[in-house]
Every structure is written in structure tokens, then in C-alpha cells.
Structure 1
Amino acid sequence: MFGSLRHRNYRYYASGQVVSLTGTWMQRAAQDWLVLELSGGSPAALGVAVALQFLPTLLLTLWAGVFADRFDKRRMLVVTQSALGICGFVLGMLDVTGVVALWQVYVLCLVLGSFAAVDAPVRQSFVVEMVGPAQLTNAVALNSMTFNLARIVGPALAGLLITAIGTGWVFLANGLSSVAVVTGLLLMDPALLHRVKPPPKERGQLRAGLRYVRGRPDLIVIMVLVFCVGTFGMNFENSFAVIARNLFGRDADGYGLLITSLAIGTLTGAALAARRSGRGRPQLRLVLVGAAAFGALEAAASLMPTYEVFAAALIPVGVAVMTFTTSANSTVQLAVEPTMRGRVMGLYMLLFFGGKPLGGLASGWLAEVFGPRSPILLGGLASLLAALAGAAVLAGRRRRGVARS
């Protein structure tokens, strides 16, 4: 279950991620709460903050994938992770000194999103360099476990700290936590990395990556699914803040508990994925089943009548979404040529996060017009329909292939 931890470089990376991701989730919860406080509880303002944070993904992520195929990924990550920590320090100082304004939060969302857009495809494609192809699925699952362990601890801790000392100190703590992951990257032994020879510098490398994906129907189905689930289904954080505050009348700790409930499910799903990693390569069928189950469970959870029942219903939602995300990530990385991995993962991350501006604005508008439950309900239905459509497309291609043969 923990086979990838036998690699020294991955142990350094995973150790730093435990600390850094906890700080990241603390900041996400505190940032959402700060926006609501500065805007008088406006879901639309929260949607704008989410949109600004993910807007740079549309402009930068594909090019970051090209750079990931050509340059040293470890050095690139040192730069991006350091910059993300500095963003936390700046927002924390503005908040602690009492001069923070909503427009400043918006600007920092945009800056942080720019560095995160570059960081994401580089970080995703760096995993296989640390552990090799044989342990990639296990490492992706363990990364998800780390991510979701932080997702449990971070928001819960943030809720307590916001109530006790305010949001500013939470941002400062996140800035400090970035030191852990940067230190882990600097301690790695580059000689132990499983690097491949980078492609030669030439024009049209980005277009070559897109043509490569266009010629692979299996990758196209996964990419479309990732876009639909990432854009419409995984609008948790901003929706949960509105549901906790405006629907159930809870404070910051109540919002943190909703994220924690979801994270309990995602941590369980990641653990199950790590156990499955020893049984061979992930299958496309599991990607489709995971997406369909997530959509159905999310839509059902949105209809729960009380805060306690809603929180409990988020646990199976978390299991399903983690089944989908880990299987989709591993399937894509193992199915592509090593020299194309950075560019393909750049497109993957673009579709996964690039729709967040649309999803953030849509969820804010839906919550304003149709009530706090509507983004969760409609997002679940959209994910379910996308999974059913993907299964139908692949089944149709399979039948045509049988008929031709």
C-alpha cells in the first residue's frame, strides 16, 4: 500500500506536502470566510474570488506543460512553491494590520492563481520522475491521501483559529508552511530521479501535444469528464461556505466541519485507491463508474434536510470523487508517451481547473437566484450526465470496431 515511500526523493516530497497542504487548506477556508465577511455574506463575491484564483489556469497551464517537458521540474517547483508561500504572507500581513480590503483579496487571488497554474502540471508530471512508472499509481493515491488528510485537518484547524484569533494569522501560518515542501525539494538527490530525455527545442510543441490527445479517443473521453466534474461538480468550497452560513446559520467552524466531512470520504477513497494500485494498471471503466457515482451521490446530498445529515452525506461523495480523480490521473499518465507527459498533463490540469472561473461564477449566481442548494444539485446532475455520455461514446466506438472486424 505504501510502496512508493521506498523511494528516498518521494519521502522528502511527501513529508513536505503533509505540512504545506495543511497550510494551503487552512488558507482556502480562511480566504472564503474573509471574502464573505468583507462582502457582507455575498455568494456572488465569493464566486468572483474563486473565478480570479482559477482564471490564470486558462492562460498559463498549457504552456507550463510545455516547460515541464523541457526543463528541470524540481527547480521549477522550488520557485512556484516559494511564490505561493509569499502570497500567503502578504495576505496575512494585510489582514493582521487591519488594512485588508476586498479588492486586495481579489488581486492576491489572481497572483496566487498564476503561480498555481504553472505549479500544477509540473507537480503532476514530476511524480513519475520520483518513483518510476511501476509505482506511479501508488504514488498518485498516496498524494491523494496526503491531500485529503490535509483537507481534514486544515479546514477544521482554520475554523478554530478564525474564531479564536482571526483569519490573518491563518494566512501567515500557510506562508510559513511552504518552507516544508521547498526544503523537501532541495534535499532530493537529482541522480535518483527517473528522468527522460527532453524533446528537442522546436516550434509547435504545444500543438503537437494537442494533436496527440486528439488522436486518442480514450484520452478525449477522460478529458471531457475531467472538465465537467471539475467545473460543475467539484464546486465544494464556495458552495459549502454559503450553505453553512446562509442556509444552516453556522459559523466558520461549521463550514470547516463540512469540508472535513467531505475529506473523510476522500481520504477513505484515496486509501482504497492505494490498495487497488497493487492489482495492475487502472482501467477506464473505473473512471466512468467513479464519475457517475460521484454525480448521483452529490445530487442526493444536496437534498438533505438538516446540517448534520448533509454533513454525513458528504462522506460517500468524497469516496466517489476520489475514486474518479485518482483513476483518471493515473490512467492518463500511464497511457501517454513519456516525452508527452508534461503537455498532456498540462491539458489535463487546464480542463480540471480551467473551468473553475465559470463554475465559481455559476455557483455564486445559482446560489443567489435559486438558493444555496442549487449549485450542488445541478453540479451532481451534470457530472452524472457526462459520465453516462462518455460511456455511451466508448460503447458506440467499441461496437463499430467489432462490426468492422
Structure 2
Amino acid sequence: MHAPAASGRTLFHNPDIRRFGAARFLTGLAYQMQAVALGWFVYDLTRSALALGLVGLASFAPAMLGALVTGHVADAYDRRRVAALAYGLLTVAALGLTALALAHLAPVWPVYALTILVGTARAFANPATQALLPTLVPREQFGTAIAWNSSLWQSAAVSGPAVGGLLYALGPAVVFGTAAACFGLAAVAIAGIRPPPPAASGRPPVTWATLLAGLTYIRSQPVVLGAITLDLVAVLLGGATALLPIFAQEVLHVGPLGLGLLRSMPALGAVATAVFLAYRPLTHRAGPRLLIAVAVFGAATVGFGLSTALPLSMACLFVTGAADMVSVYIRQSLVQGETPDAMRGRVAAVNTVFIGASNELGEFESGTLAALIGAAPAVVVGGVATLVVAGLWGRLFPALRARDRLIA
């Protein structure tokens, strides 16, 4: 029923997997450090919940607007080079944020401009890296590879916010500069992966049919569509990440280090779950477990919104991360395991838009709602809405509810 524990160790005998893992860890570390610094930096400049939400919108918009192009690029060109160039662009953006912090500029619009540049780079990097991973491992190791990849990413997400909070005491420029160094090293690591053999079918032509192929495929697969849209709506409504600076300052009364700890808790829950899944992969009752995980995510979000104690708030965020990891594991296994390699980039680009909508656009939604009714009520309302969505999706997508095996 379960894959052998040795399968995870076997993965890291592959030097390309080690390079891929190093790149993922470094970029995850940089993203999280930069996110902590960026949130605190913008809030220091504006004291506005809406301004925090706009950071999420600026980061998400490029992925949404360019999904058709970024997916086609990931399928038409060498995915290693696409990812390496994107990481290089992230390095440039982080250096720009470093310069802004050193210049002590009061206007916030240059920060938004560089955040758009970050979002553009991520829009190209995400489909390329998602589509690259399945080409590095045998099909029977997809689930284990996804779990180990997620554990590396989440390990960086655990340490990144805490490191970012500590470094912020030395100034935001130190955090942004360290993130730039991590992005640069990640570009070198991903570029060192051995080039894949050329595709037999060659480069796909640029037509509306090929550009829309990812969306067309997802619409034709009710289980995949249900899983992706469930994650989209649940995290869009229930995400509280953008509001953590407000909770840290005004509800829990902790400083940048406390904010870093709060941001680390979802990732800590996720990495613990990912390591468990790497050694004990899910093989049955995939659909019901996904629905249960989303319901748990919603309940924990409600608990966080009601909490006024740091330990309880951290525990609730830990549970949200663990539940979200189950959702990520199931969704990514379905998407990567059942999509033909020739169109994995385009499917991954659509998936990236859904992920971005549930995270960055969710930050915009959270910031806007918090500006209207307050941070704590906004989080509680979002958590309750997530619980409703979990029940509703079970009825709207019976194929997802009935799905047993994770990989057919």
C-alpha cells in the first residue's frame, strides 16, 4: 500500500535532483525572507491594510495576464534555461529593492513596480520548474518526488521568515540583498541540470489551440478541475498571510521576529506533513482526503482569527499549513502524473494562475476586506467560507469526491 522509505533516499542519488532541490530551497528561502521584509517595509511606509493587499495583486497580475505565453515558453524551450533566466530576473528585482531600501525613499510606487517584476519572473519560473521535475524521475516516483520537493520548499519557508525577521533588525536592505544572493545561486544550480533529449514532436507551433491547450485539458478532466478550483476558492477566501503584519502589531503585540515566527508556522506544518507523505505516500481515498483537508484548513483559519494569544495563533497556523500540504500533494500528483510531457508547461501555467489567485490575489481580497471590517473579522469570515466551500465542492464534483487512487 505504501511506497518503501528508501524511495526518497534513492531520489537524491540523482545529481540533477540534488541541483533541482538546491535551487528550490534557495528560491524558497529568498521568497520568504523577501516577503517578510516587503510586508513590513510597505506597512512601515503606509500603515495601510489595503497597501499590503496591493503587494499581493502586483505579484499575481503578471502570472494571470501572461499564463498563455509562459506555459507555451515552458513547453517550447529548454525548461532549465527558462528557469535560470527567470531566477536571474528575480536577482535583479531583489537588488532593486535593496537599492530602494538604502535610498530611504518615501513613495511606495517603486516597490510596487519591482514587485511586478518579481511576479513576472515567477510567472515564467513556476511552469518551467513544475514541468521539469517529472522529467527527472520515473513515473512511479512522482508522488515521492512531489513530497520531497515540497518538503524542501517548505523547509525554506520555515527558516526564511525567521531569518528574514532577524535580518530585518539590521535593515530591510540586508534582507533584500541576501535574497538577491540566494536567487543568483539558484540560477546557477538549475542551469547545471543535464539538458534533456530533444522532443520527438519538436517545438509546438504558436496557435490559439496550442496556447489554450492547458486550459482545454484541465476542463476535460473533472477530477483535476475540481481539485484545482477547490484549492483556488478555499485559499482565496481563507488565506490570512497578508494580514499577519497587522496581527503581529495590533492583536498579538510582537515585533518583526514575532511576525517571522507567525509566517513560519504554516510552512512548519507543511514540511512535517510533506516529510511524512514522502515516506508514507497517499495511495487511496484521494478525493475524500482532499475535501477533509480543506475543511480542516477552514476550521484552523477561524481559530487563528479568534485567537489573541501567540501560542494558539501559531498552533492554528501550523494546522493550516499541514492541511494545505495535503491539498498541494494531491493536486500536484494529479496534474503532473496525468498530463502528457509535451503540454506539462501549459497545464502548469494554468495551475500557477490558480495557485497565484489563491495566494497573491487572496492577499488582495484579505487586505480589502480587512480595510472594511477589520483584520480579525475578515479572517473569521474567510475561514467559515472555506468550510462551506469544502462541502459544496463535494456535491459539485462527484468524480472528485469518489476518486480513490491518487495516480491512475
- TM-score by shorter chain over 0.5: yes
Residue 180 of structure 1 aligns to which amino acid in structure 2? L
Mark the CA change 1:284 to 1:206 in structure 2 (over 3 Å): closer, same or farther: farther
Shift of the alpha carbon at 1:233?
Answer: 2.5
* Correspondent of 1:332 among 310, 331, 335: 335
Once residues 178 and 120 of structure 1 are traced to their aligned partners in structure 2, the CA distance between those partners, rounded to angstroms, is 14
Give the structure 2 partner of residue 32 of structure 1.
39
Query: Structure 1 residue 382: deviation in Å?
Result: 2.7
Identify which of 156, 167, 173 aligns with 1:161: 167
Task: Give structure 2 stretches of 5+ with no counterpart.
Answer: 403-408
Shift of 1:324: 0.9
SS of the equivalent of 1:6 reads coil
* Contact kept in structure 2, 1:130 and 1:194, CA below 8 Å: no
Q: What is the CA–CA distance in structure 2 between the aligned matches of 1:116 and 1:28, rounded to whole Å?
A: 14
Query: How many Å separate the matches in 1 of 2:110 and 2:400?
Result: 50
State the partner residue of 1:18: 25
1:245 aligns with 2:249: yes
Aligned with 1:68 (options 66, 74, 78): 74
Please report how far the alpha carbon of residue 4 of structure 1 lies from its aligned counterpart in structure 2 after TM superposition.
2.3
Distance 1:140 1:89 in 2: 31
Residue-by-residue CA offset, 1:137-194 (whole Å, 9 max, x unaligned): 212111211111111211111111112x111111011001112211212222225x79
Gaps of 5+ in 1: 400-405
- Give me the whole-angstrom Cα distance separating, in 2, the residues matched to 1:294 and 1:264: 15
Report the CA distance between 1:225 and its aligned residue: 0.8
Who is 1:220 aligned against? Answer: 225
Deviates more, 1:366-375 or 1:153-162: 366-375
Pairing 1:85–2:91 present = yes
CA RMSD across the alignment = 2.3
> How far apart are residue 385 of structure 1 and its match?
2.2
Name the counterpart of 1:370. Answer: 373
CA–CA separation in structure 2 for the residues paired with 1:147 and 1:398: 28
Is the CA contact 1:132–1:194 (under 8 Å) kept in the aligned structure 2?
A: no
Q: How do residues 142-161 of structure 1 correspond to structure 2 at under 5 angstroms?
A: 142-161=148-167
- Distance in 2 between the 1:260 and 1:181 partners? 21
Say whether 1:135 aligns with 2:152: no
Aligned with residue 45 of structure 1, among 35, 51, 65: 51
For residues 174-253 of structure 1, what are the structure 2 equivalents within 5 Å?
Answer: 174-190=179-195, 197-198=201-202, 200-201=204-205, 203=207, 204-236=209-241, 238-253=242-257
Number of equivalent positions: 394
User: Quick one: structure 1 residues 394 and 364, their matched pair in 2 at CA, closer, same or farther if it must change by over 3 Å?
Assistant: closer
Q: Deviations over 1:59-109 (max 9, x none)?
A: 112321122122110110110011001110111122123236311111111
SS of alignment partner, residue 212 of structure 2: helix
Selected match of 2:389 from 383, 386, 390: 386
Q: Give SS of 1:190's match.
A: coil
Q: 1:298–1:317: 8 Å Cα contact kept in structure 2?
A: yes
Quote the offset at 1:355 in angstroms: 4.9
| Counterpart Cα distance in 2 of 1:387 and 1:194 | 42
Q: Could you tell which deviates more after superposition, 171-180 or 18-27?
A: 18-27
AA partner of residue 30 (structure 1): A
Matched position secondary structure for 1:220: helix
Pair 1:305-2:308 in alignment: yes
The partner residue of 1:8 within 15, 19, 33 is 15
Deviation readout 1:261-312 (Å, 9 max, x if unpaired): 22221111111221233x6488333322222221222222322232222122
- Pick from 270, 294, 313: which aligns with 1:291? 294
Following the alignment from structure 1 to structure 2, what is the Cα–Cα distance between the partners of residues 358 and 53? 9
Provide closer, same or farther for how the CA distance between residues 99 and 344 of structure 1 changes in structure 2, counting only shifts above 3 A: same
Which residue identity does 2:234 align to in structure 1? V
- Shift of residue 258, structure 1, vs aligned partner: 0.6
Q: Is residue 281–residue 331 contact of structure 1 (8 Å, CA) maintained in 2?
A: no
Q: Give the one of 265, 275, 280 matched to 1:276.
A: 280
Distance, in Å, in 2 between the alignment partners of 1:5 and 1:272 is 17
Structure 1 residues 227, 397: CA separation in 2 closer, same or farther (over 3 Å shift)?
closer
Relative to the length of structure 1, the TM-score reads 0.90
2:406 is matched with: none
Shift of 1:249: 2.2
CA distance in 1, matches of 2:318, 2:83: 32
- Cα 1:339–1:285 change in 2 (3 A) is farther
Which residue identity does 1:36 align to in structure 2? Answer: Y
Q: Secondary structure at the match of 1:188?
A: coil
Amino acid at match of 1:10: I
Q: Kindly tell me: are residues 398 and 125 of structure 1, through their superposed partners in 2, closer, same or farther at Cα, counting changes over 3 Å?
A: closer
Change (3 A) 1:174 1:304: same
Residue 64 of structure 2 aligns to which amino acid in structure 1?
A: L
Amino acid at match of 2:324: V
| 94, 97, 107: which one aligns with 1:101 | 107
CA distance in 1, matches of 2:318, 2:382: 17
CA contact (8 A) 2:297 2:320 kept: yes
Partner SS for 2:280: helix
